[in-house]
Amino acid sequence: MTTPRVHTSELRGTALANEIRARAASAATELTAAGTPPQLAVVVATDDGSSAWYVRSIARAAAKTGIQCTLVELGPKATAEQIRTSLTALSADPEVHGIILQTPLPDGVAFDDLAAAIDPAKDVDGANPLSLGRLTANLPAFAPATAAAVLALLDRHEIELAGRHAVVVGRSTVVGKPTAQLLLQRDATVSICHRHTKDLAEITRRADVLISAAGRIGLITAAHVAPEAVIIDVGTNPTDDGGLVGDVDTASVQGRVAGVTPVPGGVGPVTTALLLQHTVQAARRR
């Protein structure tokens, strides 16, 4: 496979997301007919506006796909113990197949510790540290949906990975690290950058495939990219006028690279679709 020289708008995720959702919908219909209606539970312990928007979009997509989405609203004052009790009960509930612990969590409540209470078989967003460990050991596990979406987009656009240099900007447990792991599994040579990385541009310019997951507006400019690079922009940064932009200064890189995903309309819709796909996979395995 060769890297196609494409216009910026061509690395979109919407068509791929529609296809993934259509496949999940047909699996959901079969499961429901067989007496196992798939159910996704989302535990929410925040009143954060953008989190509420994201949860509503998951619930809408689930409803259209024939997956029941149950919101467990614990409120922004929930304690770690209340959240853990809820995750443990959902893990034991045979009618629940997928569980998501929504962020942010109340101040002082640690995500990784609580995510360990999610049954790995229902961990459709790869939040339980066991899931990342299994992924690292090449054992079956759900990858975090965003990391899986990055790979799905690269595959959809036939971007070769084996032997190529992939640079991931960001090392969070939910995005950067699992994305790097999935790229390694595909035989890419992977560099991971973070806030302490010296001369970011010098490293990102050597990327054949650049994944930006920093959450910083305008972090990646023309000075950070090689001419034939493919860029996956994972960043979702709210703007003052209520919009959403990625990490990449798209105007500056446009026409200089092989392709870049738009924000919105790139990684985001594929992430949501994969959460639904993971839920029907989890329901099928029961």
Q: Is 126 left (phi over 0), alpha (psi -120 to 50) or beta?
A: left
Interface with ligand NAP, residue 261, by CB under 6 A: no
Please list the alpha-helical segments (H only) found in the chain.
Answer: 14-33, 49-65, 80-92, 111-115, 129-136, 145-156, 176-185, 200-204, 250-253, 267-284
CB of 53 to ligand NAP, least distance (A): 12
Could you say which of 120, 235, 259, 262 contacts ligand NAP (CB under 6 A)?
Answer: 235
* Window 162 to 191, contacts with ligand NAP (CB under 6 A): 169-172, 174-176
Task: Write the binding mask 110 to 149 for ligand NAP: x where contact by CB under 6 A, - elsewhere.
Answer: ------------------------------------x---
Interface with ligand NAP, residue 207, by CB under 6 A: no
- 271 CB neighbour count, 10 Å cutoff: 26
Which residue, 11 or 31, has its beta carbon nearer to ligand NAP? 11
CB of 238 to ligand NAP, least distance (A): 9
SS3 for 54?
A: helix
Could you say which of 94, 107, 196, 240 contacts ligand NAP (CB under 6 A)?
Answer: 196
Interface with ligand NAP, residue 193, by CB under 6 A: yes
| Distance in angstroms between the alpha carbons of the first and the last residue of the chain | 38
Q: Any bridge partners for residue 167, and if so which?
A: 191, 210
Residue 104: cis peptide before it, omega within 30 degrees of 0? yes
Residues that bind ligand NAP (CB under 6 A): 146, 169-172, 174-176, 193-197, 200, 213-216, 219, 234-237, 267-268, 271
